[in-house]
């Protein structure tokens, strides 16, 4: 966690300054009664969303001046 805080601080922000979403938690609630479904569905759904969101996230990171993280996200989204 400290590494994430340090990275955010390098950009002039504090952890929690930016809005976040709760999509992962909502997916967990949907499968709260079936652990097998959760183990299967959560990674699939989140990976698909991540692939779709990758290019947009890269652009946002570049806009924040964070080329190091944008390069990492771009590599993951390839």
Locate 36 and state its tokens: 């097998």
Q: Is residue 9 included in any domain, yes or no?
A: no
Question: How many C-beta neighbours within 10 Å does residue 61 have?
Answer: 19
Q: Is residue 13 included in any domain, yes or no?
A: no
Is pLDDT above 70 for 4? no
Q: Is residue 32 included in any domain, yes or no?
A: yes
Structural domain total, the chain: 1
Q: Is residue 8 included in any domain, yes or no?
A: no
Q: Is residue 55 included in any domain, yes or no?
A: yes
Q: Is residue 64 included in any domain, yes or no?
A: yes
Q: pLDDT digits over 21-71, tens only?
A: 887 788 788 888 988 888 887 777 777 777 778 889 899 999 988 898 899
* Angstrom distance (rounded) from CA 7 to CA 73: 14
| Cβ contact 69:54 at 8 Å | no
Where in the sequence is the domain holding 27, given as residue range(s)? 21-77
């Amino acid at each position: 966690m400290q590494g994430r805080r340090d990275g955010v601080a390098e950009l002039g922000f504090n952890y929690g300054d930016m809005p976040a979403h709760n999509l992962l938690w909502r997916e967990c609630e949907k499968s709260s009664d079936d652990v097998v479904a959760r183990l299967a569905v959560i990674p699939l759904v989140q990976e698909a969303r991540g692939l779709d969101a990758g290019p947009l996230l890269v652009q946002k990171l570049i806009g924040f001046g964070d080329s190091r993280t944008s390069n990492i996200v771009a590599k993951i989204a390839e």
